[in-house]
A and B are shown apart, each in its own frame.
Chain A
Amino acid sequence: MSASAITMMVISIVVIGGGLLVSAVALMRNPEEPEDD
């Protein structure tokens, strides 16, 4: 694989996978509040 292809593969996985991880962690750190209705 060329260096540029490897770079784009790593960037794609890190940015999108990282984004998924960050949003999932943000949700987990703020647990659901019980609904009163």
Chain B
Amino acid sequence: MARERATRERWGSRTGFILSAVGSAIGLGNIWRFPGVAYENGGGAFMVPYLIALTTAGIPLLIMEFAIGRKYRGSAPLAFRRVNRNLEAVGWWQVAICIVIAVYYAAIIAWAGWYAFFSLSQAWGEDPTTFLMVDFLQAGDDLYEFGAWLPGLAAALFVVWAATLAVIGAGVKKGIETTSKIFIPLLVVMFGALVVQALTLDGAVEGLNAFFSPDWEMVREPGVWLAAYGQIFFSLSVGFGIMITYASYLGRKSDITTSAWTVGMSNSFTEVLAGIAVFAVLGFFTVQTGVPIADQEYQGVGLAFIAFPAIINTLPYLPGLFGLLFFGSLVVAGWASLVSVVQVPVAAFEDRFGWGRVKATAVVGGGMAVASIALFPAVNGLMLLDVTDYFINNYGIAVAAPVSIVAVVWVLWRWKALRDDANATSVFKVGPIWLVCLGVITPIALAVILFFNVRDLLKAGADSSAAVYHHYQAFGWAVVGGAFAFGVVMALLLRNRETPMESQVDVLDEVEEEAGR
């Protein structure tokens, strides 16, 4: 095997890495998922299980992924292969999950981009629901009915993908890091202005009261704890190879654990601010119309594309600016996350096939762009997005993550090597508590969430919230099973293939040293 030092890209600075990781973690879920989840699960009292979940599962898993990425210097498949050759399948499984997610996630960013433009003139008119479902998306209710293909949506998707691939093609330092250094501060400014404007509205206090009033009885309910662990888990960009890939571009002496705390806390701080902004606005709407907050759309697509347009219509001043700030924040937060999701498969093909960055971006990223632009501007796009999102999150990421933890921590007993490697260069040291959180609490929490999700899905009646997923199970399981099968097949095909990136002297020396221990 060649022993020359291969040149792996590097972050230009720690700040650049942290901003990029924060940009990945902060996504649509922070803005449109957390506020509703907290409100439904005890309001202010939800913060207790939420903070416990952050410190006992989110940050410990983030530390593991940062440590794996930096120590084994590879995108998910290569890093896992270096942990143990049999684990490469887990890395490719995560790559497949990223491919699926990127293909639909880009569509939401394209919608938000259009809505930022629409908000300047409140083009949605007096009935935002009809505008969204009939005029804008022409949304059908059958997953298998492709229907018309909408050129306006396709054009916006093309712009999203062109920008994403341009950034990734420019490289980690010149592309991702430079963009993060511009857009994450921009997101802070836009989001900060949004929070300030929301707080000046009549009724904001009523909204905050609804959001933060604690219902301590609910903290005794297991479902609330599962919601807290689920929120932390799905909002931190952990479990599908992103943080491993980003950390693989760190230098040998970078701080791992304190960086993980900074990223985790930034993500949660944004969620709390989003809760304040969203509920201040919902409180305003209650005062204006008399519709109680509980009866409003306060989550997901309904919150962003139906409730917010209706609220913007009633704003006393600068409605266009408010819409621009809100949808602009969605676009920037979502896009920074999309870049990180697409980087995972691109880096995987670079590492394992020895492709150059431009070729990997063009072939892998370009392929994803074509699939995305072909599939999602169709009238079944919303349904396709919803069903795919449900299955790949709940049965893709939530299975791949505990598998990787159990394999690395318990089967291969690599937690000590990762601990020593992280502690050697980090201010905040980890030890047995980290092992308990990572190796015991996190996989158990994920397994319990998985159990309840499967139970709800299989038992879902016609009026249940999971009914639509129950109806499209065949499609959903095909996506989930396809991602897993892709992982296994790729790992088998590449089992005996060694690529230039595998010959990095520094990594090889350590891996060989460990193997000899």
| A residues neighboring B (CB under 8 Å) | 1-2, 4-9, 11-13, 15-17, 19-20, 23-24, 26-27, 29-30, 32-33, 35, 37
Contacts and interface: CB of A to CB of B under 8 A. Distances in A.
A36 to B, nearest CB: 8
B453 interface: no
B44 A9 contact: yes
Given A23-B258, A27-B427, A37 B208 contact: no
Given A30-B427, A32-B13, A24 B212 contact: no
Contact of B212 (A5, A20, A27, A30): A5
Contact of A23 (B47, B251, B252, B261): B261
A30 to B, nearest CB: 5
B174 interface: no
A19 B208 contact: no
Contacts of B13: 32
Contacts of A12: 44, 47, 212, 272
Interface string B425-453: 00110000000000000000000000000
Contacts of A4: 44, 213-214
A4 B210 CA distance: 11
Interface stretch (B90-98, B262-270, B302-310, B392-400): B262-270
A11 B212 CA distance: 10
A30 B252 contact: no
11 contacts: A1-B209, A8-B43, A8-B213, A8-B214, A9-B276, A11-B47, A16-B51, A19-B265, A26-B261, A27-B258, A37-B5
Nearest to A13: B272
A10 B36 CA distance: 19
* Chief secondary structure at chain B's binding surface: helix
B272 A37 contact: no
Contacts of B262: 20, 23-24, 27
Quick one: which of A15, A27, A32 has the most chain B CB within 10 A? A27
Interface in B185-244: 205, 208-209, 211-214
A30 B43 contact: no
Nearest to A1: B209
Contacts of B276: 9
B45 interface: yes
Contact of A15 (B51, B209, B252, B428): B51
B255 interface: yes
Nearest to B275: A12
In order of increasing CB-CB distance, the 10 nearest A-B pairs are A8-B44, A20-B265, A23-B261, A35-B251, A5-B212, A23-B262, A5-B213, A19-B265, A9-B212, A1-B209
B127 interface: no
B445 to A, nearest CB: 20
A1 B204 CA distance: 10
B514 interface: no
Interface in B29-52: 43-45, 47, 51
A2 B209 contact: yes
Interface in B242-286: 251-255, 258-259, 261-262, 265-266, 268-269, 272, 276
Contact of B47 (A8, A24, A26, A29): A8
